[in-house]
């Protein structure tokens, strides 16, 4: 069966349009409740969210549906996605719901579901929930209705867990650090974590109003962070995305350190310290220069399909402990079982502490191949990807690059977009190819 609602990262869409509506989310909450209750007579489900304004509405709707199914609800409030995953295990919940559209703007929202291990549900489980969605809601008898509680210790528990992942005292109190919270889910917990470690960063984009999440800030737009670093003469900048599972860094010169760089730092650090981690899982978007650099170091490397769920699946199949994406979604199974922006940032600070090098010095390790990304918005991405003339142009341009580069065309799992990535040794050449393919796509969509 093909899934109707669940994409590569849960359910996502524009607020007020199906399926991100309050009435539909009541039904979804009921279906999730029934799914977890099928495994037993009781079910405790955590609900956490980011800071977008629609979170209140969707939280109430999901809560209502869950309670009508007989499930107990524990409300976490604003909490990073990886924090919700951790607390699911910590509080021995049966599952959890994350209300977030990650790096998207406030107009969008989404729902992700975790199992009792704090891991995203498998395809087969999502199909079961979709089959329950078509059934009429049957409210349990009043005596069997679930209850709702608010967990007031959530921030303290998760911040303690993050701080506890730092192996030794960080002697970097003299470093001037700027932290960009993207006006998102890390705005409360990040200050707690850094405070526990004796650090006092400058926090920016940490005053959410429900509408400013990811707006001109965060890991998807580091200009504000770069400007702040220059103004404050800071040593390092850390930028999270709206739900806190991604992170990127900026050095004192304003240079961006993305997920590919971070993955390389972590791998080399583990290698130098003699720790076993098997190999590294990247994606088809990972820059070619890193694949070659890993090979030079004798580190096995594998490309998975884009999406953290695909990365972690490949890691488990291979028994490897390190993987991630250029977006800054990094998985280190030595630390936690999901991508965690805060923990990843702390690992980099540990490396800086051990190596006694600046982020700029670490960041020069690999010279990346130029890479550009073209996003083509269209109602039916699949039809463009399968269009014969478009495929012919992709093939022709791929031949033109030869072994000097590559082209990857894929459908976005979170937005109605076709993403075209072009990579090669010559920026002029890939920009020419990118502009050509974009114009061909636009022409096809107009016909």
Q: Is the pLDDT of residue 56 over 90?
A: yes
User: Quick check: do 11-153 and 371-446 share a fold?
Assistant: no
User: Given its phi and psi angles, is residue 440 left (phi above 0), alpha (psi -120 to 50 degrees) or beta?
Assistant: alpha
Enumerate the β-bridge partners of residue 223. none
CATH class for domain 11-153?
alpha beta
3-state secondary structure of 394: helix
Residues 228-262 pLDDT 10s:
999 999 999 999 999 999 999 999 999 999 999 99
pLDDT tier at 270, thresholds 50, 70, 90? very high
H/E run at residue 344: helix 341-355
Is the pTM for the entire model greater than 0.75? yes
- Cα separation, 127 vs 144, in Å, equals 26
Residue 198's φ and ψ, nearest 5 degrees, are 75, 20
pLDDT at res. 74: 98
Asked if pLDDT for residue 414 goes beyond 80, the answer is no
Name the architecture of domain 258-340+356-362.
3-Layer(aba) Sandwich (3.40)
Which residues neighbour 200 within 8 Å (Cβ) at sequence distance 6 or greater?
194
Task: Tell me the three state secondary structure of residue 258.
Answer: coil
Domain parsing of the chain, residue ranges: 11-153, 175-256, 258-340+356-362, 371-446
**CA dist 282 to 263, 286, 405, Å?**
9, 6, 17
CA distance 186 to 169: 23
Whether 102 is a known active-site residue: answer: yes
* 247-251, strands of its sheet edge to edge: 202-204, 177-180, 236-240, 247-251, 256-257
- The length of the chain in residues reads 447
**CATH architecture of the domain with range 175-256:** 3-Layer(aba) Sandwich (3.40)
Query: Please, what's the largest Cα pairwise distance for the chain?
Result: 69
DSSP state of 152: T
Task: Read off the pLDDT band of 132 (50, 70, 90).
Answer: very high
SS3 assignment, position 81: helix
Sequence-distant (≥ 6) Cβ neighbours of residue 6 within 8 angstroms:
123, 126, 129, 130
- In angstroms, the CA 344 to CA 324 distance is 11
Model confidence band, residue 114 (pLDDT cutoffs 50, 70, 90) = very high
Tokens linked to 315: 């890691």
- pLDDT tens profile 350-390: 999 999 999 999 887 898 999 899 999 998 999 999 999 99
The string of pLDDT tens digits covering residues 172-219 is 889 999 999 999 999 999 999 999 999 999 999 999 999 999 999 999
pLDDT digits (tens, 9 = 90+) for 30-52: 999 999 999 778 999 999 999 99
Instruction: Say yes or no to pLDDT of 402 above 90.
Output: no
- CATH class, domain 371-446, is alpha beta
Q: How far is CA 12 from CA 105, 294, 356, in A?
A: 12, 35, 43
8 A C-beta contact, residue 309 and residue 9: yes
Is residue 8's pLDDT more than 90? no
Higher pLDDT, 321 or 446: 321
* β-bridge partners, 251: 236
The angle subtended at Cα 121 by Cα 180 and Cα 164, nearest 5°, is 45
Mean pLDDT of the chain: 95
Mean pLDDT across the stretch 339-356? 95
Question: Is 90 exceeded by the pLDDT of residue 423?
Answer: yes
Give the model's pLDDT for residue 412.
Answer: 84
Separation CA 214–CA 439 (nearest Å): 29
Q: Mean pLDDT over residues 157-168, rounded? A: 93
Report whether 184 contacts 244 (CB < 8 A).
Answer: yes
C-alpha neighbours within 13 Å on the C-beta side of residue 13: 16
Per-residue pLDDT band at 446 (split at 50, 70, 90): confident
Indicate which residue of 54, 68, 100, 102 is catalytic: 102
Q: In the numeric block, which tokens belong to residue 223?
A: 């200009």
């Amino acid at each position: 069966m093909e899934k109707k609602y669940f994409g590569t990262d849960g359910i996502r869409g524009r607020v007020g349009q199906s399926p991100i509506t309050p009435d539909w989310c009541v039904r979804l909450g009921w279906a999730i409740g029934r799914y977890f209750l099928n495994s037993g007579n009781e079910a405790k489900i955590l609900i956490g969210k980011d800071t977008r304004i629609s979170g209140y509405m969707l939280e109430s709707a999901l809560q209502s549906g869950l309670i009508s199914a007989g499930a107990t609800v524990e409300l976490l409030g604003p909490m990073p996605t990886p924090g919700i995953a951790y607390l699911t295990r910590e509080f021995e919940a049966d599952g959890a719901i994350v209300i977030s559209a990650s790096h998207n703007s406030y107009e969008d929202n989404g729902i992700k579901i975790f199992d009792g291990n704090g891991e995203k549900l498998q395809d087969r489980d999502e199909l079961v929930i979709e089959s329950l969605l078509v059934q009429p809601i049957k409210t349990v008898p009043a005596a069997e209705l679930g209850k709702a509680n608010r967990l007031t210790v959530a921030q303290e528990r998760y911040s303690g867990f993050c701080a506890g992942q730092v192996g030794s005292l960080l002697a970097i109190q003299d470093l001037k650090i700027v932290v960009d919270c993207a006006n998102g889910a890390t705005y409360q917990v990040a200050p707690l974590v850094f405070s526990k470690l004796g650090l006092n960063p400058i926090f920016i984009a940490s005053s959410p109003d429900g509408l400013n999440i990811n707006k001109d800030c965060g890991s998807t737009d580091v200009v504000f962070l770069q400007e702040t670093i220059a103004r404050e003469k800071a040593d390092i900048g850390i930028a999270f995305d709206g739900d806190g599972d991604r992170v990127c860094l900026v050095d004192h010169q304003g240079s961006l350190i993305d997920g590919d760089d971070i993955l390389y730092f972590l791998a080399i650090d583990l290698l130098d310290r003699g720790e076993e981690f098997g190999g590294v899982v990247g994606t088809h978007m990972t820059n070619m220069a890193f694949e070659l650099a890993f090979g030079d170091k004798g580190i096995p490397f594998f490309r998975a399909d884009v999406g953290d769920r695909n990365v972690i699946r490949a890691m488990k199949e291979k028994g490897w402990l390190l993987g991630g994406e250029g977006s800054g979604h990094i998985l280190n199974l030595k630390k936690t079982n999901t991508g965690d922006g805060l923990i990843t940032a702390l690992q980099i600070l540990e490396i800086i502490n051990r190596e006694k090098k600046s982020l700029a010095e670490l960041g020069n390790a690999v010279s990346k191949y130029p890479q550009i990304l073209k996003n083509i918005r269209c109602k039916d991405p699949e039809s463009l990807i399968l269009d014969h003339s478009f495929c012919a142009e992709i093939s022709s341009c791929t031949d033109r690059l030869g072994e000097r580069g590559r082209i990857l065309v894929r459908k976005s799992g979170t937005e109605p977009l076709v993403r075209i990535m072009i990579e090669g040794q010559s920026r002029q050449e890939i920009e020419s190819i990118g502009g050509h393919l974009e114009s061909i796509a636009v022409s096809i969509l107009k016909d």
